[in-house]
Structure 1
Amino acid sequence: MSFVENLIKARSHIVFLAALGCGLALVMYVDRQIETPQAGMVDPSVNALEEVSPMEQMEKVEPLPLAITGVSGPQDIEYARIAWRYFQNNTDPTTGLVNSTDKYPSTTMWETGSYFVATIAANRLGLIDEAEAVDRIGLALDTLSGIRLFDDMLPNKAYNVRTGELVNYANQPVERGLGWSALDIARLIAALGHVDANYPVLAPKTTRLIERWDLSQMVRDGALVGGNMVDGTLRYDQEGRVGYEQYAAKAMMLFGFDAFRAYDAETNLMVKEVNGQPIPVDTRLHRNRTPAFTVSEPYLFDGLEFGFDARSRRFATAIYRAQEARYQETGILTAVSESHINVAPYFVYSSIWGGGAPWAVMSFSGERLDSRRTTTTKVAFAWDALFGTEYTRELVANIAPLGDPERGWPEGIYEIDGTTNTSVTVNTNAVVLAALAFRATGPLIRSPE
């Protein structure tokens, strides 16, 4: 048989061997490309956000150092005196409670917590002595221990400052009440922790108050639960979103309540980039209505009162840096959070991310109100106390002329036209005092030396 005939008969084997050789060559080529990638080639999975968890993204944030100086200058004391004037003007001498806004005799547990924080800070700054601080807080604790609770369980959402009666948000008496806010109560409990740390003589009163409340109703399976009256029926709803939830959880854990689900930020966390910064955003809806929003306030409280933990300090750093970056890019001084405004609807959430967009300003019902964005007094003072950057100093310098020695600090400046947001509130003046005290003595939970 000729060579050609043999070759033809063996053609199927030859094709197989050729294919095998080509396949082997291809595998070796691919291996070489993996081992020594060509210049400029990047594995797309390395930088793909979907391959990195939200918490891993946030852990890459380099936290800013804290700016505790250990001293209070004359300017700080002047600013603090302006803030304390609010409390001199708005404390009821009978109940010891404080108006939520200037001359408006209604309060919540959140705002009562702010009053306690302000009193501790005023004492640390030398505006009042320890005896006055103890007397003020003690009177308010006595009132809280005697007021009627919602369903004999927990504090109602609102009270009349002058009478201690249960009221609605229009400050009108309501027989049963509105229910309770777990976040508001947790805010007050945080303040009670600071009271215990700073004034042990008041510990029996704080203990008696907490024992009177059925806090098991609002901490369930590690989560924070509010009670809301809906068509005459009490409904239990989970409360808190990333930021507020973790601050409130810290407060509850001070008194032995295991709010482990509330403290967990990772389960409901997503990250949105805003002005080049990774911003922590909750995946859940805000009050089951609109996409959740991120504001400065819970991180300011956490830093000024507790001194941050590693996670909250990174979150706060990113939130601060986004506001600084917006200023650098637009020339608009940016210091945003939730705040009262002096026109309807009188309260807005000025977010870093909210309602599905950056820098959204939202009403309680979810309406966009970007024209009401305020460069807020409390945020300016708090960021400056916490981080003390060139930008924070510029914020405070811009806000400083607003201080009214006869009334206190207003909410801030509307960025749309530079006019003053003239609402004057307990929360803003409390944060100013807490910020100035932090600069000198550190977090409130730590007893001053």
Structure 2
Amino acid sequence: MSFRENLIKARSHLIFLAALGCGLVTVMALEKQDVEATNIAAPPQENAALEDLSAMAAFEAIAPLPLAVTGETTAQDLAFAQIAWRYFANNTNADTGLVNSADKYPSTTMWETGSYFIAVISADLLGLIERDEAQARISLAIDTLTKMRLFDGILPNKAYNVQTGELVDYSNKPTDRGLGWSALDIARMVGALGQVKHHFPDLAPQVAGLMEIWDLDQMVNDGRLIGGNIADDKLRYDQEGRVGYEQYAAKAMMLFGYDMYRAYHTEETLMVREVEGFPVPVDNRLHRNITPAFTVSEPYVFDGLEFGFDARSHRFATAIYKAQEARFQSTGILTAVSESHLDEAPYFAYSSVWGGGAPWAVMSFKGERLDSKRTITTKTAFAWDALFGTDYTRELITNLAPLGDPERGWPEGIYEADGSTNGSVTTNTNAVVLASLAFKAYGPLIRAEP
């Protein structure tokens, strides 16, 4: 085949990679803005519902849905899992052990590296790979993490090159100092390391060695998560996390004995909005000092799949799921929303249950409305089906199942507006698919026997 023919054949991948790079540049620019500081005012309480009740009291009437642990892996589950694992087989760097954040894009974050570890643990439980391979994969990645240069010698940088392990900016170009650190990303990585210790005890010394290098005390202050951001060439400390993500990250840090009492506690920052007749937990702080914070499925399904729900998160997750099911029942529109990559500009969006002051808002990093980009997300559908196993979740899986590509993995999902495929293929989506299928057979990963 000629070079020209090969180039034409690869054009879709080239366009996506270029688009992803542009999107990451946008994120880098936004880091210059104020981000989620603690001294901001709560947004106006427009469209307030259930305001006569305390926030937590609104959820007392929610009966948590029973968990749908089946204790087995069906032939179909295994086929779905093999598609998801193909992504990691394709995108793992043999030298560093790190995995591309998106198909063929050699950059990663601590969040996505944590997702990779969860994927390996799940693949081992499902019998997709031998235990020796699973342990070797994680061991190589931890070895790389141990050797990588930290931001200011404190904590992992916000982004790294998968091929070299170098600090990079959001366009995957080397950077001398780095971008700072994300407390949420690192907490997700810490939670994954806790899972590694549980499932692969032989790797506990490597995990301990890595944790000794990271100065995690720098990202915890008075029970809150603290991120490090560069502003005018100076390091600035900012509180990170909103309701949902904040509590998930707090659980991860508590695995290693950190006092996260204020991050785990929601009452000070929780407000309630009624969506499709259900109370939905919403944070009363702004997102990036720009727009009211958003509520998405992701942190709640991660909590359930990986750690197991507590009484509060079980009720919150039930309400968030029920609102999506109710939207389908009232409109006939399949709904499974969360944050997701896009295969077209602006390349990333938060598809919320409530956000930006309204239900079902889809927002960019800047808080712009992008409702035409709402995606029926693959990871959310698989996660809700694993957790709750309802007739509606089975319908979601039936509609999304044809998207699985045995050669590449699972794409992000389906654009609601026109039914076309959101063809971005990412670490996070394929990791959640694997974790969901492992949950069906074993329950929460932290409780599954190695």
TM > 0.5? yes
Q: Name the SS of the counterpart of 2:447 in structure 1.
A: coil
The one-letter code sitting in structure 2 at the alignment partner of 1:140 is A
Looking at structure 2, the residues matched to 374 and 298 of structure 1 have their Cα atoms a distance apart, in angstroms, of 17
Looking at structure 1, the residues matched to 172 and 261 of structure 2 have their Cα atoms a distance apart, in angstroms, of 35
Looking at structure 1, the residues matched to 50 and 279 of structure 2 have their Cα atoms a distance apart, in angstroms, of 11
CA, structure 1 residues 356+67, in 2 after alignment: closer, same or farther (shift >3 Å)? same
Q: Name the SS of the counterpart of 1:342 in structure 2.
A: coil
Contact 2:50 2:272 in 1 (8 A): no
Partner in structure 1 of residue 315 of structure 2: 314
The one-letter code sitting in structure 2 at the alignment partner of 1:419 is S
Looking at structure 2, the residues matched to 59 and 232 of structure 1 have their Cα atoms a distance apart, in angstroms, of 47
Q: Name the SS of the counterpart of 1:445 in structure 2.
A: helix
The one-letter code sitting in structure 1 at the alignment partner of 2:384 is W
Looking at structure 1, the residues matched to 375 and 334 of structure 2 have their Cα atoms a distance apart, in angstroms, of 10
Residues 282-291 or 351-360, more deviating: 282-291
Give 1:418-429 correspondences, 5 Å limit: 418-429=419-430
Query: What TM-score, normalized by structure 2, do the two folds share?
Result: 0.89
Partner in structure 2 of residue 221 of structure 1: 222
The answer to whether structure 1 residue 251 and structure 2 residue 216 are counterparts is no
1:366 Cα deviation after fit: 0.7
CA offsets 1:254-305 (integer angstroms, 9 cap, x no match): 0011011100111100000000010000000012221000000000100000
Looking at structure 1, the residues matched to 149 and 61 of structure 2 have their Cα atoms a distance apart, in angstroms, of 48
Partner in structure 1 of residue 41 of structure 2: none
Which has the higher relative contact order, 1 or 2, with Cα contacts under 8 A spaced 6 or more apart?
A: 2
Q: Name the SS of the counterpart of 1:171 in structure 2.
A: coil
Looking at structure 2, the residues matched to 57 and 147 of structure 1 have their Cα atoms a distance apart, in angstroms, of 46
1:448 Cα deviation after fit: 2.1
Looking at structure 1, the residues matched to 346 and 230 of structure 2 have their Cα atoms a distance apart, in angstroms, of 22
Partner in structure 2 of residue 333 of structure 1: 334
Looking at structure 2, the residues matched to 370 and 81 of structure 1 have their Cα atoms a distance apart, in angstroms, of 32
Contact 2:51 2:272 in 1 (8 A): no
Give 1:56-95 correspondences, 5 Å limit: 56-95=57-96
Looking at structure 1, the residues matched to 194 and 398 of structure 2 have their Cα atoms a distance apart, in angstroms, of 33
CA offsets 1:236-267 (integer angstroms, 9 cap, x no match): 10000000000000000000110111001111
Q: Name the SS of the counterpart of 1:112 in structure 2.
A: helix
Looking at structure 2, the residues matched to 362 and 92 of structure 1 have their Cα atoms a distance apart, in angstroms, of 33
Looking at structure 1, the residues matched to 88 and 107 of structure 2 have their Cα atoms a distance apart, in angstroms, of 14
Looking at structure 2, the residues matched to 341 and 395 of structure 1 have their Cα atoms a distance apart, in angstroms, of 19
Partner in structure 2 of residue 124 of structure 1: 125
Partner in structure 1 of residue 441 of structure 2: 440
1:60 Cα deviation after fit: 1.9
1:166 Cα deviation after fit: 0.2
Partner in structure 1 of residue 29 of structure 2: none
Give 1:228-239 correspondences, 5 Å limit: 228-239=229-240
Contact 2:69 2:386 in 1 (8 A): yes
Partner in structure 2 of residue 162 of structure 1: 163
Q: CA RMSD in A?
A: 0.8
Looking at structure 1, the residues matched to 206 and 59 of structure 2 have their Cα atoms a distance apart, in angstroms, of 41
Partner in structure 1 of residue 273 of structure 2: 272
Partner in structure 2 of residue 18 of structure 1: none
Looking at structure 1, the residues matched to 188 and 88 of structure 2 have their Cα atoms a distance apart, in angstroms, of 19
Give 1:397-408 correspondences, 5 Å limit: 397-408=398-409
Looking at structure 2, the residues matched to 288 and 305 of structure 1 have their Cα atoms a distance apart, in angstroms, of 30
Looking at structure 1, the residues matched to 168 and 116 of structure 2 have their Cα atoms a distance apart, in angstroms, of 19
Looking at structure 2, the residues matched to 236 and 288 of structure 1 have their Cα atoms a distance apart, in angstroms, of 15
Looking at structure 1, the residues matched to 298 and 59 of structure 2 have their Cα atoms a distance apart, in angstroms, of 19
Looking at structure 1, the residues matched to 59 and 100 of structure 2 have their Cα atoms a distance apart, in angstroms, of 38
Give 1:98-137 correspondences, 5 Å limit: 98-137=99-138
Q: Name the SS of the counterpart of 1:99 in structure 2.
A: coil
Partner in structure 2 of residue 35 of structure 1: none
CA offsets 1:98-157 (integer angstroms, 9 cap, x no match): 000000000000000000000000000000111111000000000000000000000000
The one-letter code sitting in structure 2 at the alignment partner of 1:192 is L
Partner in structure 2 of residue 34 of structure 1: none
Partner in structure 1 of residue 46 of structure 2: none
The one-letter code sitting in structure 2 at the alignment partner of 1:249 is A
Partner in structure 2 of residue 363 of structure 1: 364
Give 1:259-298 correspondences, 5 Å limit: 259-298=260-299
Partner in structure 2 of residue 198 of structure 1: 199
Identity %: 73
CA offsets 1:190-224 (integer angstroms, 9 cap, x no match): 10011111111000011110111111110011000
Partner in structure 1 of residue 38 of structure 2: none
Looking at structure 2, the residues matched to 133 and 58 of structure 1 have their Cα atoms a distance apart, in angstroms, of 40
Structure 2 residue ranges without an equivalent (≥5)? 1-48
1:344 Cα deviation after fit: 1.2
1:447 Cα deviation after fit: 3.2
The one-letter code sitting in structure 1 at the alignment partner of 2:378 is T
Looking at structure 2, the residues matched to 163 and 231 of structure 1 have their Cα atoms a distance apart, in angstroms, of 28
Looking at structure 2, the residues matched to 133 and 309 of structure 1 have their Cα atoms a distance apart, in angstroms, of 29
Q: Name the SS of the counterpart of 1:280 in structure 2.
A: strand
The one-letter code sitting in structure 1 at the alignment partner of 2:340 is S
Divergent runs of 4+, >3 A: 48-51
Q: Name the SS of the counterpart of 2:166 in structure 1.
A: coil
Looking at structure 1, the residues matched to 261 and 380 of structure 2 have their Cα atoms a distance apart, in angstroms, of 28
CA offsets 1:284-333 (integer angstroms, 9 cap, x no match): 00122210000000001000001110000000000000000000000000
Looking at structure 2, the residues matched to 422 and 51 of structure 1 have their Cα atoms a distance apart, in angstroms, of 44
Looking at structure 2, the residues matched to 445 and 193 of structure 1 have their Cα atoms a distance apart, in angstroms, of 8
Looking at structure 1, the residues matched to 60 and 168 of structure 2 have their Cα atoms a distance apart, in angstroms, of 44
1:59 Cα deviation after fit: 2.2
Query: What TM-score, normalized by structure 1, do the two folds share?
Result: 0.89
Partner in structure 2 of residue 9 of structure 1: none
Looking at structure 1, the residues matched to 63 and 320 of structure 2 have their Cα atoms a distance apart, in angstroms, of 12
Looking at structure 2, the residues matched to 146 and 50 of structure 1 have their Cα atoms a distance apart, in angstroms, of 52
